[in-house]
Chains A and B, each alone.
Chain A
Amino acid sequence: MTAYLPMGREERREMLASVGVDLDHLFDSIQESQRLKNTDFSGLQKEGVSEFEVVERLTALANLNKRTDDYDSYLGAGFYDHYQPAAVKHLISRTEYLTAYTPYQAEISQGTLQAIFEWQSYISRLSGMDVSNASMYDGASAAAEAALMACREKRLYKVFVSAGMHPEYIETIETYCHAAGVEVEVGALNEAGQTVEFPAEKGYAAFMVQSPNFYGVVEDLSLVVEKAHATGALAAASCDLISLALLQRPGDLGVDIVTGEAQALGIPMSFGGPGVGYMAVTQKLLRKMPGRIAGETVDRDGKTSYVLTIQAREQHIRRERATSNICTAQALMATSATIWLALMGSSGIRDVAEQSAAKALYLQEKLLATGLFENTYDSPVFREFALTAKGDLDLNKLNQDLLAEKIFGGLVVDDNRWLLAVTEKKSKQAMDKFVETVVRLAKAQ
């Protein structure tokens, strides 16, 4: 089956013959000894299948999964289920966005370039930072790149990372830093779940925190800035963009590098990706920033135009001296988030943020009232919070039992803490039923 080939072999043979090339000798530069002889394959079928059979097979696999639109889910921990207006999917399915390459040829890429420029503008406005890049792979790798960037700027090879960051972000930072010979020191949270203890000595390139942190707790970013700058380090924060519609902007508080995951802007969770990371920095750090950047200029007739710019930082020019090896971004997902922001608007994103906060507080209070849990941290939270199980309540068993009730319970952390997230999508009715179910199942344990 040659699904997507417009020519059959005979036509191909004829075409090549017309320029004096023999189809049977196309691969002569591959020596016989290197040609594939194995015909015993474990995964690939010999022949391809029809489009219908592809649909049949994948639909069957998809149907084996339990879905968040069918189950009542309280999972968050970095990926959040916010509503995506129908128009977003329609727009980013337009082939002109979907099937274009990185916009190297500005004359025929103004759509992608302007969309990126708008993304950068939205990110700057939400974060309060001077400049943003065209996007990063995800929140974790963006945080890791922030660590390396701080080291380049400060010429110091040690970073301080709060234990309140997402554990997978910390691990990604560690992977990148280990590779680059950068030391990572992880500092603990206090009893209130906040990062307040920082190193007092010089030698760190950056102090890194996440806000809201992994446990949903809003961190005091001014403190991080004060402590970091006192030792000559940069302050770097990983921030949820929806929370920034309601909380102080890191840029206004003096943070030097802001990164994060923007999946929450209505991008389907898709089992963990693709989402989209972002990075925004102060003007001073612009040249140390990795990734593509779109800029405004004029064309030969004076018309406003957008181009990829400040490219001398990048791998295709600087090679081993580049700021990073990154070349693509997550352009389509950034465009999706941009359109989400345009549709939601200033009032819409504020509503989403306020509702997510209000509903999380409602659920937290309801669950605490059951007497089965206590607050892990007694601090303001956004959209997500951690509870500690009292007595011998087995959270893993509780989650298991909830599955039978078509509920995805919160994420169990260290066996006795339950991390629960709700967004504006969650109804009061669903939460009330969830709490009732939890009480019933806990009693039965």
Chain B
Amino acid sequence: MTTVKEDRLYAKTHEWVEVEGNVAAIGITDFAQDQLGDLVYAEAEPVDIDVEIDDLVGSVESVKMASDLYSPVAGKIIESNESIEDAPEQINEDAFGTWFVKIEMSDPSQLDGLMDAEAYKKFCEEESA
């Protein structure tokens, strides 16, 4: 059984968002890493890129699958986690502890469109059914 963290917001494409002030950290959920299996590659987009909602901010690959991370908010990438490139397995081990990018949000009200932990749990149950 995969875990869901209460202090995060969630997108339908299985990204989690952790908000601190005006900055949103983005990663993939435990459910997503479980679906993908052993990751062999991960990549985060570099800093200084302006992103809109649904723009690419990272990607992950297992042997049989590839998945991209889409930004749930608009803004500018201010930090990019390069360590995931060398050690993608940390995402399998601790999906909620491994952020890909941190985005300085241009419109934090966009967070209202995301799910809370409870809603995301239900969403995953429906997807697995």
List B residues 9-68 near A (Cβ within 8 Å).
40-41, 43, 61-66, 68
A residues near B64, Cβ cutoff 8 Å:
311, 317
Q: Is the CB of B41 within 8 A of A317?
A: no
B residues near A312, Cβ cutoff 8 Å:
40-41, 61-63, 65-66
A residues near B62, Cβ cutoff 8 Å:
312
Q: Is the CB of B68 within 8 A of A321?
A: yes
B residues near A310, Cβ cutoff 8 Å:
41
Nearest Cβ on chain B to A155's Cβ, whole angstroms = 9
Mark contacts of A300-335 with chain B using CB atoms, 8 A cut-off: 1 yes-contact digit, 0 otherwise. Answer: 000000000011110001100100000000000000
B residues near A313, Cβ cutoff 8 Å:
66
Chain B interface mostly:
strand
Residue of A nearest to B63 (CB): A311
Nearest Cβ on chain A to B85's Cβ, whole angstroms = 10
Nearest Cβ on chain A to B31's Cβ, whole angstroms = 19
A75–B10 alpha-carbon span in the complex (Å): 64
Chain A interface mostly:
helix
**A287 CB–B CB distance under 8 Å:** yes
Q: Is the CB of B41 within 8 A of A318?
A: no
Mark contacts of A276-313 with chain B using CB atoms, 8 A cut-off: 1 yes-contact digit, 0 otherwise. Answer: 00000000000100000000000000000000001111
List A residues 159-202 near B (Cβ within 8 Å).
none
Residue of A nearest to B43 (CB): A287
A423–B56 alpha-carbon span in the complex (Å): 51
A residues near B61, Cβ cutoff 8 Å:
312
B residues near A321, Cβ cutoff 8 Å:
66, 68
A residues near B63, Cβ cutoff 8 Å:
311-312
Extra A-B contacts (16), CB below 8 Å, given A312-B61, A312-B62, A313-B66: A287-B41, A287-B43, A310-B41, A311-B63, A311-B64, A312-B40, A312-B41, A312-B63, A312-B65, A312-B66, A317-B64, A317-B65, A317-B66, A318-B66, A321-B66, A321-B68
Residues of B within 8 A of A (CB): 40-41, 43, 61-66, 68
Question: Which 10 A-B pairs have CB atoms at the shortest separation, nearest pair first?
Answer: A312-B61, A312-B66, A317-B66, A318-B66, A317-B65, A312-B65, A312-B41, A317-B64, A321-B68, A287-B41
| A and B contact pairs by CB, cutoff 8 A, 19 listed | A287-B41, A287-B43, A310-B41, A311-B63, A311-B64, A312-B40, A312-B41, A312-B61, A312-B62, A312-B63, A312-B65, A312-B66, A313-B66, A317-B64, A317-B65, A317-B66, A318-B66, A321-B66, A321-B68
